[in-house]
Amino acid sequence: MTDLVRDPALLESIVHDIDLHTDALFTWDYERSRTALVKLYEKAKTSQWNATTDLPWDTEVDWDKLADETAAQNQRFFILRSAEGSPLAHWGDKEWRKLSMEMQTAVLSQFLHGEQGALICTGLITATVPWVDAKYYAATQVMDEARHVEVFGRYIDEKTNGAYPISPQLGSLLDDIIADGRWDITYLGMQIMVEGLALAAFGFMHMLTTEPLLKKLLRYVMSDEARHVAFGVLSLKEFYEGLDEAEIRERQEFAYEAAVRLRNRFMVQEVWERLGADPKAVISFLEANHDPGQQMFQTMLFSKIVPNAKKLGLLDAGDGWLRKKFTELGVIQFEDWTDTTEEYAELDAVAADRG
Ligand SMILES: [Fe+2]
Ligand SMILES: [Fe+2]
């Protein structure tokens, strides 16, 4: 244990502060009037799980086996290994296997930092949202997010070579969501955009990995995340109905800007540095040797966000500005996919395992 209070330089190196522009709200109206939120809150109480005892932490991760699977699934590996002029042409099996583990760790590290962002946002919502039903629900989400930070942190610590720092794009998006202070913007940024994207990203990794600990961890985290996204949709739907056109337009613009930053969020520069390769050379090689699978993956990450934005009325409000923007981004095709207010009960893996 280090003494952070007496060592400001050390404190400075491990914390990041954000000025809050918000008020904490008491409410004296304790009536339970929002039935959908009441139902969600009951679900959250019965689907709590314990990261210490519900996950098989003694699993030995077979990184060599996973590396072979990654190489078969990920077209970028094939391009880097075999396309002419690759700056990694001299690499042997050992390096390629290491790359697979570092890529996975880099993604899990962004999950970890995003989870901490969710923890902070939801703590804020308990204080800033005016409705008692939402305060109750948000309190359960605070516990969920603490558990998510715990599980990703423990996985990275015990099973990998250690975490990567937060990517600048994700960091600045989280800063903006937290600093804004208006409670509905916290929800829009976190529950709809960041958690909507996370739900899709966790689903992908869950589908592709055969590593039993990670698979179960993701399945349980997703079952919580689906409730969180549903919480955002249920809370905002009511609020947005009372906003005027200019206010809605501001939310549409916020959602679009978040989408652009989330799409570009993943920089693997540090992975190449950690492996002793020249990041500039690798990144420009990858830009020149395009991987169509990557494009499809980036698009699929919006498969939860777009139907939820539609359910909130954000796509078509005003002159349909957000519909145009999501069309330009190439993600509008998801608009009629299942929205998360219907999906969260299906994704409740914890309840399913308990029978
Ligand atoms: Fe989470
Ligand atoms: Fe969450």
pLDDT confidence of residue 266 = 61
> If you measure from the C-alpha of residue 60 to the centroid of ligand 1, how many angstroms do you get, rounded to a whole number?
25
pTM of the model: 0.95
CA of 275 to the centre of ligand 1 (A): 29
CA of 114 to the centre of ligand 1 (A): 8
pLDDT, residue 148, reads 98
- What is the rounded CA–CA span in Å between residue 46 and residue 39? 11
145 CA from centroid of ligand 1 (Å): 5
The residues spanned by each domain of the chain are: 36-44+63-354
According to the model, what pLDDT value does residue 263 have? 83
- CA 150 / ligand 2 centre spacing (Å): 13
State the pLDDT at residue 4.
67
Q: Judge whether 303 and 337 are in contact, CB under 8 Å.
A: yes
Specify the DSSP class assigned to residue 336. Answer: T
Instruction: Tell me if the domain spanning 36-44+63-354 has CATH number 1.20.1260.10.
Output: yes
Look at residue 70 in the predicted model and tell me its pLDDT: 86
**Splitting the chain (355 residues) into consecutive groups of 10 residues, what average pLDDT does each group show?**
71 87 94 95 97 98 92 86 91 93 94 98 97 97 98 98 92 95 96 96 94 98 96 95 96 96 74 92 89 84 95 94 96 93 88 89
SS3 23: coil
How many angstroms does the Cα of residue 239 sit away from the middle of ligand 1?
23
CA dist 307 and 285 (Å) reads 35
The whole-angstrom separation of Cα 100 and Cα 93 is: 11
Count, residues in the chain = 355
